[in-house]
Amino acid sequence: MLLIRAIVRPEKKDEVLAELSSAGFNAATMVDVVGRGKQKGIKIGGMVYDEIPKTLILMVIPEDAKDRVIKMILSIAKTGSEGTFGDGKIFVSPVDEVYTISKGTQGL
């Protein structure tokens, strides 16, 4: 199992979730976050905005679904055909164990 942490533009969240859900990946946790990338925020006129709103999407998926899920997120979360700074990041981490609290069972 893998943990996918996708940080996307808030306006892309619903589109990304709809695409994932239509492919059978319904379970996700969303958190509104703020952050900045390598550019240290954005400068508009004399103002620097270094807390840019994003949405963090968390999903645990089977390892064999990794390439498919990442490809979906990349294609939907990208701005325009070329993408742009601030489109987000995807982090992939192994998950050793999962437990369902209501049933006390292990596994997805």
Q: Are 18 and 97 in contact (CB under 8 A)?
A: no
d(CA 68, CA 65): 5
**pLDDT tens, residue by residue, 55-102:** 999 999 999 999 999 999 999 999 988 888 789 999 999 999 999 999
Q: Which domain holds residue 61?
A: 2-106
Q: Domains in the chain: how many in total?
A: 1
Query: At how many degrees (to 10) do helices 13-22 and 66-77 cross?
Result: 150
pLDDT in the model for residue 36 = 78
Q: What is the CATH number of the domain that holds 54?
A: 3.30.70.120
**pLDDT tens, residue by residue, 37-53:** 777 777 788 887 778 89
Closest among 64, 62, 90, 63 to 76, alpha carbons compared: 90
Q: Are 33 and 7 in contact (CB under 8 A)?
A: yes
What confidence category does residue 19 fall into, taking pLDDT thresholds of 50, 70 and 90?
very high
Closest among 3, 19, 22, 1 to 92, alpha carbons compared: 3
